[in-house]
Amino acid sequence: MCYNLALPRFPRPERLLRAMSQLVGNALIGQSGGPTCVINQSLVGVIETCVGNAAVRNVYGAVHGIQGILQGKLIDVGRESRETLEAVAKTPCAALRSVRKKPTREECERVLQAFKQYDVRYFFYIGGNDSAETAHILNEVAMAENYDVRLFHVPKTIDNDLRVTDHCPGYGSAAKFVASAFMGDNQDNRSLPGIKIDVVMGRHAGWLTAASALARECEDDGPHLIYVPERVFDMERFLGDVDAMYAKHGRCLVAVSEGIHGPGGALIVQSKEVDSHGNVQLSGSGALGDFLAAEVKAKLGKDLRVRADTFGYLQRSFAGYASEVDAVEAREVGRTAARVALSGDRPHGSVTIRATRDGGYRASFEVTDLKNVAKETRDMEDALLKGDNDVAPAFLDYVRPLVGEMPHAARLSDFPVR
Amino acid sequence: MCYNLALPRFPRPERLLRAMSQLVGNALIGQSGGPTCVINQSLVGVIETCVGNAAVRNVYGAVHGIQGILQGKLIDVGRESRETLEAVAKTPCAALRSVRKKPTREECERVLQAFKQYDVRYFFYIGGNDSAETAHILNEVAMAENYDVRLFHVPKTIDNDLRVTDHCPGYGSAAKFVASAFMGDNQDNRSLPGIKIDVVMGRHAGWLTAASALARECEDDGPHLIYVPERVFDMERFLGDVDAMYAKHGRCLVAVSEGIHGPGGALIVQSKEVDSHGNVQLSGSGALGDFLAAEVKAKLGKDLRVRADTFGYLQRSFAGYASEVDAVEAREVGRTAARVALSGDRPHGSVTIRATRDGGYRASFEVTDLKNVAKETRDMEDALLKGDNDVAPAFLDYVRPLVGEMPHAARLSDFPVR
């Protein structure tokens, strides 16, 4: 079934009236960077808000983001049925397909030519801080050429490291996955004791690794140690920590961020592969986990049972296990971007989430300037961390509502035999 | 809340009558080997069937399986509340805690002494084929010493490689996890194309790796290649397969079993760590995936985007994502073991599942001799495989009902811009 939700040929009078004061043209949407489980909620949020608005003639999608615009690979997403859109919204990863590309100035000028060619007056780029930067540069180019276009960044990142916003769409679902993985692995480690190291995504910031703490229910539950990039990683201290926890619990479950680094900022295990934003490849390899496991074995005892798992892409793409709050918010972030762009209140911006947690969790959606979100990332604040190897209770208050309902791990009472 | 479900001090007359013809004493349960997400369903199935039976005075649990019996670490699980038992049943991994230990003949004799000491007349060992073998040896020792005890093996293994049974409790949940992971990773690979290798558990048999095929919905969905230990792995052929799929789809998602091996049976990447059953450590390391990714890069082009993930322990322990069918069957397998043991119909055995798929999936539960399940494992039959790198449609018919409802991955229609 496929019915057309696009603008009827003869718009109703009130829409026409509103459109007269609006910038009229086509809307274009792109997705960029690493996927999330709810990134298509934002896509559908933008599409459903644009479709039927008098100012929008067609709603296009760029296949593989900025790369697709440069190659003229556009599709007409305004013609998708409501049924398809709802199914796509629930599907992980970029339905428009994604790209890791930082356009050069010359490429940005070519993008602007494409905007003119396709009469694009509304551009929405769903991505992380690199995508915000791309939108920011495009805005400068558009202004320089006096081309009127609304440029909006729609945030997403499982890394949760965008500035201004309370948290990022995509993070809650990834955090739920990581916490559930640790909850299970803690039981696994309790079943067959040993030292287990789990490597979690997070290039610059430890938000996702920190979410592992949600797995704890009993006092001796793991993760027993949590290492994030906000703290300098010291191998000797790490080995001492593991040794102490193993002595205490007879086992040790460790959460390690892929982005941990030494005092000079040098990564513990470094790949040579770098993308056009200068980001070093960290994921898609078990190297860091295997290296740490080998160190533990070499220094603490070769007869120890030491294992390492690297959660990898499952954290950002696992099907069927999104956080419900995250899904709802990602949708609303897309809608907000489109609503504000179409209102004409501001020519460009990035959507942010404001959240209050006192007296129950509530979120509201606002827009900030692109430059506030572009380039720079946001680390975990000191108040959210405890020492060098744990999170503070304040972090749990922060993250719990974003993840929503978690499974519960129960134990036997271990009643003694009479 | 904690109320006692154990046998009342003065059993009702009809129970007493039945008990007179029954072997009366205590029941003991142990869990062994790698955990599954539903192994505690079987535990609770045994407990709830034993508790309240006139022949059973107490229901004990051995902490860390056979090791716990040798060390006298028993707990009274018959005193657990119904509420605790139901919560434990839903918790992944061995609530009694597990062990990887093949007892020697001398240790088996010590186990028998413990049986006598604690008046154990019913012993249930929840585990894989190694656990069936342990029960089998214990049975021989008991017979030699003329000690009357019912010894039952309660099957579990995500590897699905036990003989006689249609499938093994624990497999359906692990298969659901693997299939959902591939469904997400296929979208990830479609978002950001490249060559992606995912390593799946399965020491001897490819059942779990094969479940990745459930992720496919569209003709070009991955996994595009599936390698299982039932087929000899040839590096040149593998590289040729990947090259061809990459040329065809512009991307390639590969499912590889951790147990793949060369013509002589030698593993592709081998750890030196071996347990007391002679099993080599395969999981808890990203070495195989990283090695294959490096080979692809070296031979097919260093500029290719090649990544590898090793799913690791998450496959057997992830919290909150079990297959419902699997959970129900694991419970019933535990109940069946206890019911048959208490009936006195046979002195020992291993529970098997008989399944029919024609006209809707139905399962029934039976018992076979321990020796039929001990030691040997079951590979995937030829009819379930297609060539060297795929599964046959018959496998999908086999596995689908065990996994139950899967998420659905939807695509945009890619309508052209007019």
How far is residue B36's CA from residue A273's CA, in Å, rounded to a whole number? 37
Which of B320, B410, B418 faces A76 most closely, judged by CB atoms? B418
Q: Closest chain B residue to A198 measured between Cα atoms?
A: B284
Q: Give A173's contacts (C-beta < 8 A, 6+ positions apart).
A: A36, A37, A38, A158, A321, A322, A323, A326, A327
- Per-residue pLDDT for A88 more than 50? yes
Is B188 in Cβ contact with A313 (below 8 Å)?
yes
Is B319 in Cβ contact with A321 (below 8 Å)?
no
What is the pLDDT averaged over residues A102-113? 95
From B368's Cα to the closest Cα of chain A, the distance in A is: 28
Is A415 in Cβ contact with B283 (below 8 Å)?
no
Q: Say what the pLDDT of residue B269 is.
A: 81
What is the pLDDT averaged over residues B173-184? 98
What is the pLDDT averaged over residues A85-100? 98
- Per-residue pLDDT for A75 more than 60? yes
Is A310 in Cβ contact with B312 (below 8 Å)?
yes
- Cis geometry, peptide bond prior to residue A169 (ω within 30 degrees of 0): no
pLDDT single digits (tens) A266-280: 888 866 565 566 666
Cα-only R_g, chain B: 23
Is B319 in Cβ contact with A417 (below 8 Å)?
no
Higher pLDDT, B276 or B342: B342
What is the pLDDT averaged over residues A331-342? 98
* One-letter amino acid for residue B4 of the chain: N
Q: Give residue A2's pLDDT band: very low, low, confident or very high (50, 70, 90).
A: very low
CA distances from A141 to A31, A60, A105, A137, A307 (A): 20, 21, 8, 6, 51
pLDDT single digits (tens) B81-93: 999 999 999 999 9
Residues in chain B with CB shorter than 8 Å from the CB of A415 are 75-77, 79-80
Cβ(B37)–Cβ(B403) below 8 Å:
no
Q: Give B390's contacts (C-beta < 8 A, 6+ positions apart).
A: B213, B225, B226
Q: Say what the pLDDT of residue A185 is.
A: 98
From A372's Cα to the closest Cα of chain B, the distance in A is: 27
Q: Say what the pLDDT of residue A126 is.
A: 98
Q: Say what the pLDDT of residue B194 is.
A: 97
Task: Tell me the DSSP string of B198-261.
Answer: EEE--SS--HHHHGGGGG--STTPSP-EEE-TTS---HHHHHHHHHHHHHHHS-EEEEEETT-B
* One-letter amino acid for residue B223 of the chain: P
pLDDT single digits (tens) B125-137: 999 999 999 999 9
Place of tokens 């030691």: B375
Q: Which of A159, A198, A221, A390 is catalytic?
A: A159
What is the pLDDT averaged over residues B311-329? 97
Is A314 in Cβ contact with B185 (below 8 Å)?
yes
Residues in chain A with CB shorter than 8 Å from the CB of B418 are 58, 76
Burial of A405 (0-12, 13-18, 19+ CB in 10 A): exposed
Place of tokens 């972090």: A395
Higher pLDDT, B278 or A286: A286
User: Mean pLDDT across chain B, nearest whole number?
Assistant: 92
Burial of A163 (0-12, 13-18, 19+ CB in 10 A): middle
Higher pLDDT, B132 or B14: B132
Domain boundaries, chain B: 13-169+321-372, 172-319+379-403
pLDDT single digits (tens) B159-170: 999 999 999 999
pLDDT single digits (tens) A205-250: 999 999 999 999 999 999 999 999 999 999 999 999 999 999 999 9
- Per-residue pLDDT for B7 more than 50? no
Query: What dihedral do alpha carbons B114, B117, B123, B127 form, nearest 10°?
Result: -20
Q: Say what the pLDDT of residue A276 is.
A: 62
- Per-residue pLDDT for B343 more than 60? yes
Q: Closest chain A residue to B414 measured between Cα atoms?
A: A75
What is the pLDDT averaged over residues A29-50? 98
Q: Give residue B302's pLDDT band: very low, low, confident or very high (50, 70, 90).
A: confident
Q: Does domain B172-319+379-403 have CATH number 3.40.50.460?
A: yes
From B154's Cα to the closest Cα of chain A, the distance in A is: 17
Q: Give residue A293's pLDDT band: very low, low, confident or very high (50, 70, 90).
A: very high
Give the residue among A307, A317, A242 at the shortest CA–CA distance from B313.
A307
What is the pLDDT averaged over residues B322-348? 97
How far is residue B341's CA from residue A42's CA, in Å, rounded to a whole number? 56
Q: Say what the pLDDT of residue B8 is.
A: 41
Which of A93, A190, A312 faces B187 most closely, judged by CB atoms? A93
Which of B76, B181, B416 faces A416 most closely, judged by CB atoms? B76
Is B91 in Cβ contact with A411 (below 8 Å)?
yes
Q: What topology is assigned to A172-317+379-403 in CATH?
A: Rossmann fold (3.40.50)
Q: How far is CA B185 from the centre of its chain?
A: 23
Disruptive mutation site among B192, B253, B408, B411 for chain A (greatest number of A CBs within 10 Å)? B192
Is A58 in Cβ contact with B313 (below 8 Å)?
no
Instruction: Write down the architecture of domain B13-169+321-372 according to CATH.
Output: 3-Layer(aba) Sandwich (3.40)
pLDDT single digits (tens) B49-91: 999 899 999 999 999 999 999 999 999 999 999 999 999 999 9
Is B192 in Cβ contact with A100 (below 8 Å)?
yes
Q: Is the dihedral of CA A296, A302, A303, A306 positive or negative?
A: positive
Do B13-169+321-372 and B172-319+379-403 come out as alike in CATH topology?
yes
Q: Give residue B316's pLDDT band: very low, low, confident or very high (50, 70, 90).
A: very high
Task: Tell me the DSSP string of A50-118.
Answer: HTT-TTEEEEEEETTHHHHHHTT-EEEGGG--HHHHHHHHTS-S-TT--------HHHHHHHHHHHHHT
Q: Give B402's contacts (C-beta < 8 A, 6+ positions apart).
A: B167, B171, B172, B175, B323, B325, B326
Is A185 in Cβ contact with B314 (below 8 Å)?
yes
Reduce the DSSP state of residue A290 to 3 states and report it: helix
Residues in chain B with CB shorter than 8 Å from the CB of A301 are none
Reduce the DSSP state of residue B86 to 3 states and report it: helix
Higher pLDDT, A277 or B401: B401
Give the residue among A195, A209, A132 at the shortest CA–CA distance from A385.
A209
What is the pLDDT averaged over residues A108-128? 97
Residues in chain A with CB shorter than 8 Å from the CB of B286 are 285-287, 289-290, 308-310
pTM exceeds 0.80 for this model: yes
From B285's Cα to the closest Cα of chain A, the distance in A is: 6
Is B317 in Cβ contact with A90 (below 8 Å)?
no
Q: Give A131's contacts (C-beta < 8 A, 6+ positions apart).
A: A32, A33, A65, A125, A153
How far is residue A242's CA from residue A230's CA, in Å, rounded to a whole number? 19
Residues in chain A with CB shorter than 8 Å from the CB of B94 are 187, 191
* Strands of B56-62's sheet in order across: B74-76, B56-62, B25-31, B120-127, B150-155, B348-356, B362-368
Residues in chain A with CB shorter than 8 Å from the CB of B99 are 192
Q: Say what the pLDDT of residue A286 is.
A: 85
Disruptive mutation site among A192, A288, A296 for chain B (greatest number of B CBs within 10 Å)? A192
Q: Give residue B203's pLDDT band: very low, low, confident or very high (50, 70, 90).
A: confident
How far does chain A reach from its first CA to its final CA, in angstroms? Answer: 67
- Per-residue pLDDT for A89 more than 90? yes
Q: What are φ and ψ of residue B227, in 5° steps?
A: -115, 125
Cβ(A51)–Cβ(A82) below 8 Å:
no
From A145's Cα to the closest Cα of chain B, the distance in A is: 26
Which of A192, A410, A414 faces B87 most closely, judged by CB atoms? A410
Q: Write out the catalytic residue numbers of B.
A: 159
CA distances from B69 to B34, B73, B76, B101, B315 (A): 19, 6, 13, 12, 29
Residues in chain A with CB shorter than 8 Å from the CB of B289 are 285-286
Q: Say what the pLDDT of residue A168 is.
A: 98
pLDDT single digits (tens) A176-187: 999 999 999 999
Is A406 in Cβ contact with B320 (below 8 Å)?
yes
Q: Give A330's contacts (C-beta < 8 A, 6+ positions apart).
A: A36, A38, A39, A41, A42, A45, A156, A169, A170
User: Mean pLDDT across chain A, nearest whole number?
Assistant: 92
* E strand residue ranges, B104-194: 120-127, 150-155
